[in-house]
Structure 1
Amino acid sequence: MTNFKYRSALITGASSGIGKAFAYELAKKGVNLVITARSENKLSQMAEDLQSKFKIQARYIVADLSDLRSPKFIYQEIKKLGLTIDLLINNAGIGKWTNFLDQSLETYQSMLHLNINSLLSLTHLFLPEMLQNNNGGIVNIASTGALQPCPYIAVYCASKSFVLNFSESLYGEYADRGIVVTCICPGNTDTGFQASANANTAGMKYESPEEVAKQSLDALLRKKNNKIIGFDNVLQSLIPRLLPRKTVINIVKNMMDKKVNG
């Protein structure tokens, strides 16, 4: 256990991937956890394992954050437990690599509910208590796709652009009031996300979820407004700043067309 600034954390999308890595990294630091995802079986096993290994309190709440009612439900359940959250990890998200019209409007609306509306709602619900206590941290998981236009991943990347701009705007509003809002932009991460996104990932390099979680918490403690994970991704993030916008669109289009359409 270490002397970590935050004592209790809520993690969304916690049953696998980056969310699960956050849970174990924070548990090592003695942070009590509330973990949430859709799978009760995975969450219950995780909570039991976290408590056994790290001697912390680990509660879980089963919720589907693509349902607009879920953020308020999670908040109310935490209040019923008498818990205070001083670290919010907005990790849950989903995406599709596809031609825009190959997915239904309902699919995109569900994606936006999860990637944007639930993140916004949870932030709005838990931020007031953080301000009241003059202490709080919010980590929002975006993507390197937030940094540029992304043909064939249009809705996902647009949603992550919202997360980046929203997070940095809140950083500007609340950093001098004791609240740090850090936006994380991972690239390809070994989480199974690409498989669920129907992505052709042959030849791609991956970061581990554990490395993403460690670097994210380090960025939070250093009070950074954002963190791009991976040196190659940092270099790639410079391209949209150096080249004309239309050129960037065409570069990404040509790269993604091969992966989506073969």
Structure 2
Amino acid sequence: MENNKTNFCEEETSELKTGLTPFPEDIFVTEQPWLSNYLLPLISVDLGLLRNDLAGTVVHVLNPTEPAEGIIGEQTTNFHNEFCAENWIALELTPDNKYRFLGNENYFLSAPIHKDDVDEDFTEHIKTIHENYQKVKSKYQLKKQLLPWQDDNPQYFLDRLSGEMWYGNWTNTSPIPPAFEMNIDEEGDDLSNDGISISYKGNEFIYVAEVSGYNYCGSGADSILMFYEPINRIVLFTYDWT
């Protein structure tokens, strides 16, 4: 059966093409307005760049505002579920390309319920990453470049777009949430070449993109990895800390 796959794969995106939109707005469902407190929209990707049959399906790379130290979800295990666990979060993509978080707000350590469990350093980190994000966004609107540091040092919009899943720290930092299955072909000759698969109810995820949180916020994971499962319209994120 024709799957409409393309051979598109790109590394170190420095020039935007049609289908890539930095700093998207209004991407969360109205019933979860609190998501913008915890997840910062970096860039939207029209999946028609990856597969012709997915044109018009638009996913959004997100940078969590936490952790300040450790990994996301590490201190909120009582609020994990089948979709969200340490170092993994999942969202549903609605028909109008908005995100619905498939976990509880209290998964995030900066949620109001945890206010007595965090210190000043954590609170300052959350404030700083929001401020940095807004500064980089404002500079982008003026100069069309990502400038988290010096103005002569623009960062890539994406470190990688499409291609095969690659083996790294993200594969074994924390177990994938129980709703999903990840297989690693440890007998394969090259784990970076199609040696990893992730699925939900038997439906395979495609690897969409990755970028460092530093590029947009001056801090964050070394790699934010985003995957998409087209049948159930689930977007899955994990983070590589090298």
Q: Please report the TM-score for the alignment, with normalisation by the length of structure 1.
A: 0.25
- Structure with greater proportional strand content: 2
Greater RCO (Cα-Cα under 8 Å, separation 6 or more)? 2
- Structure with greater proportional helix content: 1
